[in-house]
Amino acid sequence: MSSDAPGRSKVVISSVSKDFSTRKGALSVLQEVSLDVREGEFMCLLGPSGCGKSTLLNIVGGFERPTSGRVTIDGEEVTGPDPRRVFVFQEYGIFPWASVWDNVALGLRKRDARERSRIVQATIDLVGLTGFEKSYPFELSGGMKQRVEVARALAVSPDVIYMDEPFGALDSLTRLTMRAELIRIWQSERKTIMFVTHDVDESLQLADRIVVFTSRPGRIAEVVTVGMSHPRELGSPEYAAVKNRLYDLLGVRHTV
Amino acid sequence: MIIPLLLIVLGVVLFVQSRRWPAAVQNVVLPGSVALVVLCLWHIGAAAQERPILPTPKLVAVALVNLVADGTLWRYVIASVFRVSVGFVLAAAVGIPFGLVVGWSTRAFTAFNPLVQGLRPISPIAWIPIAILLFGIGDGSAVFLIFLASFFPIVVGTMAAVRNISLVHVRSAQNFGLHGMELFRHVVFPASLPQIITSLRIALGVAWLVVVAAEMIAVNSGLGYMIIDARNQGMRYDLVVAGMLVIGAIGIVLDLGIRRLETFDEVRWGYAKR
């Protein structure tokens, strides 16, 4: 289905299903989802609200267990959260009681002091927050808080980063800037990124491949290879063609 | 009688007129005019009695000056504040760690929450006979009652704070491999701290209420003792009211003191902006 994506397998999801028990009985959220994420790939999980894409990410991240099926990373089964793979949350996961510096240093507690300072400063510089080291989150704008969260994840140099609608709470202009920044950082660090979104344009601007989900119970409708290099021209015919394809898969009309 | 009436008119005029004045002036004039009117009404009421039992504001002021002059007031204030401090600090030292653990561990919560909820509604005043039985007449009883009075608000507040920690923060902590004491130091404690401070404030307020009651029965010094003694030793209601005013004033000072904790950067996120 996506044999044209280069690189070796990083995250392998094999027939994962997830049921939640509710008062009305078991509710199937994910059904037989299988997926192969390549090393260094930027993959978006795209689908309508409630299609199970966040649940899948939480399973891959080790926060929830699948009802059946399994997830392996580098051949090792995921059984719980792991500092080698970091989750960037939908709401703000950074700690409001700690300064920018202390937030970014969270995952570096076991490094010696000098190395820790070096990494923290370098990461803060990378996300463009130089000068705000001593600030507290309540003193920052939404976009800046999200940068802190990205910095906290990058500081531990994880091999996979999970992002669950990280820019959902930002205004549309800040969101565009943050996407460009994320691509810049991804191109310099080459981490594997799994990014959940319900925004067609967002997935198109970011991903190498886009996994399109059907609504509940979540199943993979298709894996779409974007095949455009960065920076992407949002007005190009290729962009429009992939976009129409995504709309078709999601069952959305092209006109308003 | 004519002077208090004129002062009441003045108070009302100031209250109404201050609408046009700068906010800083209003902040003084509004509460000041209310206090003035209340004092005048009090004076009129007290002066109108056939047999003077309730003292006038002036008599209370004289009593206060005398209490300050002969050093009694200072001694009694120190005695009361000392008891509250010891009981309150003990309650915080035991209550905060207990609340953190019981709030965090589902098993501990299931085990201890019913006990806490069952003991909490019992007024500390109801414990006075038991306190005297256990600790006799003296500081021990009073401190024990203060401890009880502050312990439950602190435990319940801390427990609720821990149970309200956002799932995202807990998951971030797990993701970065925090366990045991590290988890408490970096996440559980700082995340709960704003609500813990609020519970300390409530507890200190209750402790100050209870120390007066405890001193009326269990000891022979302090502001509560001063009040009950003034009444028993000759119906000195001027001293009773003077004692009440001092209790109110110290209550305000204690609350202002503990509110300063809410201004630190580590906890400011936890309070609504106004």
- Dihedral-angle region of residue A48 (phi above 0 means left; psi in -120 to 50 means alpha; beta otherwise): beta
Please say if the pLDDT value at position B12 is more than 60: yes
Determine the pLDDT at residue B118: 94
Q: Is A80 on the interface with B (CB under 8 A)?
A: yes
Q: Please give the average per-residue pLDDT across A83-107, as a whole number.
A: 89
User: CA dist A223 to A166, B36, B64, Å?
Assistant: 22, 78, 84
CB-hemisphere CA count at 13 Å for A43? 27
Cβ pair A138:B268 closer than 8 A? yes
Determine the pLDDT at residue A2: 42
- Dihedral-angle region of residue A105 (phi above 0 means left; psi in -120 to 50 means alpha; beta otherwise): alpha
Q: Which residues of A11-49 are buried (b: 16+ CB within 10 A; e: fewer)?
A: bbbeebbbbeeeeeeeeebbbebebbbbbbbbbbbbbee
Question: Residues 6 or more apart from A238 whose CB is under 8 A from it?
Answer: A227, A228
Please say if the pLDDT value at position B143 is more than 70: yes
Q: Is B211 exposed, middle or buried (0-12, 13-18, 19+ CB in 10 A)?
A: buried
Q: Is A132 on the interface with B (CB under 8 A)?
A: no
Q: What gap in Å lies between CA B131 and CA B148, rounded to an integer?
A: 10
B174 → closest Cβ in A81, A95, A109:
A81
Q: What gap in Å lies between CA B270 and CA A95, rounded to an integer?
A: 11
A93 → closest Cβ in B172, B182, B186:
B172
What integer best gives the mean pLDDT of chain B? 91
How large a percentage of chain B has pLDDT more than 90? Answer: 64
Helix or strand run (H / E) with residue A11: strand A9-22
Please say if the pLDDT value at position B30 is more than 90: yes
Q: What is the pLDDT of residues B69-80, one digit of tens each?
A: 998 899 999 999
Determine the pLDDT at residue A48: 86
Q: What is the pLDDT of residues A178-212, one digit of tens each?
A: 888 889 888 888 889 999 998 999 999 999 999 99
What integer best gives the mean pLDDT of chain A? 87
> Maximum Cα–Cα distance for chain B, whole Å?
77
Q: What is the pLDDT of residues A129-167, one digit of tens each?
A: 899 999 999 899 888 898 899 889 888 888 899 999 888
> Which residues from B are below 8 Å from A95, CB to CB?
169, 172, 186-187, 190-191
Determine the pLDDT at residue A235: 85
Determine the pLDDT at residue A104: 94
Q: Is A86 on the interface with B (CB under 8 A)?
A: yes
Confidence class for position B85, pLDDT limits 50, 70, 90: very high
SS3 A9: strand
Confidence class for position A234, pLDDT limits 50, 70, 90: confident
Name the more confident of B273 and A224: A224
Cβ pair A92:B176 closer than 8 A? no
> Which residues from B are below 8 Å from A94, CB to CB?
172
Cβ pair A87:B175 closer than 8 A? yes
Q: What is the pLDDT of residues B101-140, one digit of tens each?
A: 999 999 999 999 999 999 999 999 899 999 999 998 888 9
Q: What gap in Å lies between CA B248 and CA A193, rounded to an integer?
A: 61
Q: Is B172 on the interface with A (CB under 8 A)?
A: yes
Q: Closest Cα of chain A to B133: distance in Å?
A: 45
Q: What gap in Å lies between CA A144 and CA A100, rounded to an integer?
A: 10
Q: Which two tokens stand for residue B241?
A: 């009211």
Q: Please give the average per-residue pLDDT across A223-239, as a whole number.
A: 86
Q: What gap in Å lies between CA B103 and CA B199, rounded to an integer?
A: 14
Q: Please give the average per-residue pLDDT across A25-38, as a whole number.
A: 88
Q: Which two tokens stand for residue B163?
A: 């149970």
Q: Which residue of A has its CA nearest to B183?
A: A106
Q: Which two tokens stand for residue A114?
A: 């000098």
Q: Which of A92, A97, A133, A165 has the most B C-beta neighbours within 10 Å, making it the best mutation to test the interface with B?
A: A97
Q: What is the pLDDT of residues B166-189, one digit of tens each?
A: 988 998 998 998 888 889 999 999
Whether A142 contacts A174, CB under 8 Å: yes
Helix or strand run (H / E) with residue A46: strand A42-46
Determine the pLDDT at residue B78: 94
Q: Which two tokens stand for residue A49?
A: 């609200």
Confidence class for position B246, pLDDT limits 50, 70, 90: very high
Cβ pair A93:B168 closer than 8 A? yes
Q: What gap in Å lies between CA B222 and CA B230, rounded to an integer?
A: 12
Q: Which residue has the tokens 């299903």?
A: A17
Whether A154 contacts A127, CB under 8 Å: yes
A-B contacts at Cβ under 8 angstroms: 62
Please say if the pLDDT value at position A83 is more than 70: yes
Q: Which residues of A121-151 are buried (b: 16+ CB within 10 A; e: fewer)?
A: eebbebbbbeebeebbbeebeebbbbbbbbb
Q: What gap in Å lies between CA A135 and CA A116, rounded to an integer?
A: 18
Q: Is B266 on the interface with A (CB under 8 A)?
A: yes
Amino acid at A7: G
Whether A117 contacts A59, CB under 8 Å: no
Confidence class for position B266, pLDDT limits 50, 70, 90: confident
Q: What gap in Å lies between CA A96 and CA A88, rounded to an integer?
A: 15
Q: Is B267 on the interface with A (CB under 8 A)?
A: yes
Give phi and psi for A114, each to the nearest 5.
-70, -45
Please say if the pLDDT value at position A13 is more than 80: yes
Confidence class for position A91, pLDDT limits 50, 70, 90: low
Name the more confident of B195 and B4: B195
A97 → closest Cβ in B174, B182, B190:
B190
Q: Please give the average per-residue pLDDT across B202-230, as a whole number.
A: 90
Q: pTM (2 decimals)?
A: 0.82
